[in-house]
Structure 1
Amino acid sequence: MYYLLLAMLLTLTGCASKQPSFSLVIDPLLPSVINYSGEIDPDNVAAFEQGIANSPTQITSLVINSGGGDVLAGIRLGELVYQHKLKVTVDKVCASSCANYVVTASDEVTIKQDALLGWHGGVLQPLLYGSEDFHKYKKSMVEYIMAWAEAERVFFDMVKVNQAVTVLGMMPGLKGKRNTPLYSYDQQTLKALGLHITFEDKQATVSKTGEEIVQIFSLSPEVLDTLLLQHAQRLQQL
C-alpha cells in the first residue's frame, strides 16, 4: 500500500508523523467501547476490524485519538464505523484522514473538551485547487490516486456527507485567510454539510503547547451556498 509521496498530497499524512504508538483496547468495564489510538494505516485498521469481529460483546462506540494516516486505510476505517453504526468520541485529536473518514461516518460524534478536530484536504484538492502534471509521476502512484478518488467519492455518497467538507477551507476566499495547519467549521456549517457532531465545549483550536493548530471558519448559509455552488461548478469541469 503506497503512502502519499507526492508533494501536493504530503499534507494529508503529515499529521500522522508524531503520533503515539498504536494501541487498540476494549475496556473490560466498558466492553461495548473500543479505543483506537495512533496512526491510521492498513495493519492498524485490520486489527480494529478483527477486534470488532472477535469481541464477545457488541461494539457500539469508538473512542479515537489519531492525527490521521493512510487515506485508503482511513476510508476502510470509516466504512467500518458506518457499517457497525458506531458512536464516535474524539479524545485528544482527530485530524487529516481521521477527520475525513471517521467523524463523517458516524451519526453521533462527540468531541471532548480541548480535543482538536481538523481537516486539511482530500482527493479533490489537487484536481480542483492546484493543477498537477500527473504524467511525470510513476504509474503506480497515479493508479493509487485514481483508486483514492473513486473510493472517496463512493464513501461520501454512502455516508451522505458533502465531500466538500474536506476542501472548503482551501477554496478561494478562505484559503487566503488560513494561518493554521488545519481548519474546521462552525456548528451550523458542519450540520449543513451532513455531519452530526456535538462539542463538549467550544471547538478547540490550540495545542497543549499553546500552538494555534485549527482555524474555525464561521460561514453564513449564504456564503456556504456560494462556496458549494463554486465547488459544484469546478467538479463539472473535470
Structure 2
Amino acid sequence: MRHVHFSIFSIFNHQVMASAFLIVFLFSPAPCGAYEEIDLPDVKVLLDPPEIYSRGDVLYYNGIITDTSYVAVLNLTINHDIKKISINSIGGDARNAMEIGDYIYKNGLSVDVRSVCASACANYIFPAGKNKYLGNNSYLLWHGGVNGPEREVTVSGNISKDDFFMLQEFKKLKNDDIAFYRRIGVNIRVSFCPQLKDDYKERFPEKWFSYPPEDLEKFGIKNIHYAISASQWILSMRNKHVIFASYCN
C-alpha cells in the first residue's frame, strides 16, 4: 500500500460568504527536515468526500471531516442502533468534529481508532467516546486548538490575522470549544499544551504530538482500551516517529 508522509500544523481556512464559515484542522505536507516524518500507511484517511457507512451497530468513518459530516453521521445514527464510531481521519472542519463529538458524548457511544485520529478528530471525537479503543498501530495526534496560542495559527485567505481573530464566528467557536471540554470533563489544554512552552518548535519540529496514557488520564481522557497494552502502543508509536508530550495544567 502507498505510504503517505505528513507533518502537522494548524490550518484555519475561512470562507466568509454571507454566514458561511469554515475552520479546518488537518495534516499538511511539509518538506523533509533532519527529523523523521510520520508515516501514514492508510490512504483512506485522505478521502474527500469521506466514506461513511454502517454495519450492525458500528458506524464507519473514513476520510476528512467536512462541513456536511455531522449531518451525514446523524442521518446514519438515526436510522440505525449505533453503539460505536470506528474512525479513520486526519481531521478537518472543527465545527462538524465538535458536533459529532457532542453527539457521541450525549448518546454514550464508543470510539474506535482503526488507523488515524488526528487534529479535529483527536480534539473532539476521540475524547468524547464513552469507551475508546486504540489498535497497536493507531495514531492519536494533536497539533493545536482554537483556544491555543495565537502565534501557532496560520490564516489563509484574503484576511489579516488580527481581523480573523475578531470575527464573531471565530469568537463563538472559541466559546463553544470551552463549553465542549467542560461538558465532557476534559482539560481544554490537551489540544495545545506543548505549544505553551518556548521549546515547542524544537521539540516538535512537525508540530504534532501525542500523550502517554497516564497523561491522557490527567487531562480527563479515560476508559482507553489498547489492543495489546498501553506500553506496546507507546513503543509502536515511537517507532513510527510520534513524539509524546506531557500533561500541563
* TM-score, normalization by structure 1: 0.76
Residues 52 and 62 of structure 2 are in contact (CA less than 8 Å); yes or no, is this contact kept in structure 1? yes
Q: Summarize the Cα distance change of 1:136–1:205 in structure 2 as closer, same or farther, 3 Å threshold.
A: same
Q: Could you tell me which residue of structure 1 aligns to residue 98 of structure 2?
A: 75
Between the two structures, name the one with larger relative contact order (CA 8 Å, sep ≥ 6): 2
Q: Distance in 1 between matches of 2:162 and 2:193?
A: 27
Task: Report the secondary structure of 2:127's partner residue.
Answer: coil
1:122 CA displacement: 0.2
Q: Could you tell me which residue of structure 1 aligns to residue 226 of structure 2?
A: 199
Q: Which residues of structure 2 form unaligned runs of 5+? A: 1-10, 15-21, 30-42
Task: Report the secondary structure of 1:185's partner residue.
Answer: coil
Tell me the alpha carbon deviations over residues 166-190 of structure 1, each in whole angstroms, 9 at most, x when there is no partner. Answer: 0112121551311334201111000
Q: Quick one: which of 157, 162, 169 aligns to 2:182? A: 157
Q: Summarize the Cα distance change of 1:165–1:125 in structure 2 as closer, same or farther, 3 Å threshold.
A: same
Tell me the alpha carbon deviations over residues 56-96 of structure 1, each in whole angstroms, 9 at most, x when there is no partner. Answer: xx211110000000101110010111111111100000000
Match status 1:124 vs 2:147:
yes
Residues 72 and 151 of structure 1 are in contact (CA less than 8 Å); yes or no, is this contact kept in structure 2? no
Q: Could you tell me which residue of structure 1 aligns to residue 54 of structure 2?
A: 26
Tell me the alpha carbon deviations over residues 128-184 of structure 1, each in whole angstroms, 9 at most, x when there is no partner. Answer: 867x97544496xx2232121011011001100000100112121551311334201
Q: Could you tell me which residue of structure 2 aligns to residue 4 of structure 1?
A: 12
Q: Could you tell me which residue of structure 1 aligns to residue 63 of structure 2?
A: 38
Q: Distance in 2 between matches of 1:148 and 1:136?
A: 15
Q: Quick one: which of 166, 184, 203 aligns to 2:210? A: 184
Match status 1:13 vs 2:21:
no
Q: Could you tell me which residue of structure 2 aligns to residue 104 of structure 1?
A: 127
Q: Which amino acid aligns with 2:52?
A: L
Q: Distance in 1 between matches of 2:219 and 2:240?
A: 28
Identity of aligned residues (%): 22
Q: Distance in 2 between matches of 1:78 and 1:53?
A: 16
Q: Distance in 1 between matches of 2:165 and 2:197?
A: 30
Q: Quick one: which of 166, 191, 194 aligns to 1:169? A: 194
The number of residues matched between the two structures is 206
1:10 CA displacement: 8.3
Q: Summarize the Cα distance change of 1:144–1:87 in structure 2 as closer, same or farther, 3 Å threshold.
A: same
Richer in strand (by share): 2
Task: Report the secondary structure of 2:136's partner residue.
Answer: coil
Q: Distance in 1 between matches of 2:64 and 2:163?
A: 30
Residues 66 and 94 of structure 1 are in contact (CA less than 8 Å); yes or no, is this contact kept in structure 2? yes
Residues 38 and 66 of structure 1 are in contact (CA less than 8 Å); yes or no, is this contact kept in structure 2? yes
Residues 149 and 195 of structure 2 are in contact (CA less than 8 Å); yes or no, is this contact kept in structure 1? no
Q: Could you tell me which residue of structure 1 aligns to residue 244 of structure 2?
A: 216
Richer in helix (by share): 1
Q: Distance in 2 between matches of 1:174 and 1:181?
A: 11
Q: Summarize the Cα distance change of 1:90–1:11 in structure 2 as closer, same or farther, 3 Å threshold.
A: same
Q: Distance in 2 between matches of 1:10 and 1:73?
A: 10
Q: Which amino acid aligns with 1:160?
A: G
